[in-house]
Structure 1
Amino acid sequence: MPLLDPKEWHTFASLFTDYAVMDVREDAGLDPVTGVDAIVAQVRFAVDHAATSHQVHTPEVEFSSPDAAHVVWAMQDRVVWQPGKSPLEGTASITGYGQYHGEYRRLDGKWKINSLRLSRFHVDMHPA
């Protein structure tokens, strides 16, 4: 997500529908959050005090209608927190591998994320 890593939160928020749902239960054990403000707040909590790099590759897109699509992205992320700022006790950084599963909707001619679920295959955790 090119807007997440430079922490352009207002523009990052514009990627989602107002009622979007984000589910990171598999990764962080948190309940899904609903609404763009809650999504941005959760992402900010996780990475505001970190250098990050999120890469997505090889999207698999399946259209269910002209204005709706399910997309699976292969992903890798690197998160390096500032000293003492990691939300994961004893962890200074992570490198994760997995997939983003998204439901996209076209609203007013623009594609937006309506739901997003992170599933991870593996996470390398680097100690503080």
Structure 2
Amino acid sequence: MDTISEPLARLVAFEAIKNVKARYCRFLDTKDWPAFAALFTADAMMDVHEDTGREPVFGVDAIVAQVRFAVDHAATSHQVHSPEIDLAGGDTAHVKWAMQDRVVWQPGQSPIEGVQSITGYGQYHEVYRRVDGEWKIASLRLSRFHLDMHGE
């Protein structure tokens, strides 16, 4: 029985982590900020310096504020796929996701001067922690391979 329970536990963890990231995309795109915030550990870190030029931010409130600043006035579509999940321990996982995002700002609302929309391609590099039985994002770093910027 032990040889079956270990692989089954890994599969359950993999599926739970995938569901967290699916909700991340949905809550971000629908701008459900309370639900989005609940996906992170209290001490989470987000590093999107490639997009913003800013230093990483720490804590759920800072993460939500940074994301809202970027997309509150935009229609967005975030897609992730091809997860590489490494369970580093019972309650920690390291995950890489292939990603693509599309962001179209309302006229005059883009934080990037002269840009109306972007389409980006890259990866999320994340650490997940299981807190009280629930997987949450403990750190997130976005790396871009390519970014198409479309003018106003």
Length-normalised TM-score, structure 2: 0.83
Q: 1:75 aligns with which of 78, 82, 99?
A: 99
Q: What is residue 50 of structure 2 aligned with on the other side?
A: 26
Deviations along 1:52-108, whole A, 9 cap, x unmatched? 000000100001101100000000000000000000000000000000000000000
Q: Give the share of equivalent positions with the same residue, in percent.
A: 71
More strand by share: 1
Please list every run of 5 or more consecutive structure 2 residues that lacks an aligned counterpart in the other structure: 1-24
2:114 to 90, 95, 101: 90
Residue 124 (structure 1) shift: 0.2
Dislocated runs of 4+, deviation >3 Å: none
- Show the 5 A alignment for 1:95-114: 95-114=119-138
- Aligned-partner Cα distance in 1 for 2:56–2:42: 15
User: 1:13 maps to what in 2?
Assistant: 37
**TM-score, length basis structure 1:** 0.99
Provide, for residues 98-127 of structure 1, a one-character-per-residue CA deviation record: whole Å limited to 9, x for no partner. Answer: 000000000001000000000000000000
Q: Which has the higher helix share?
A: 2
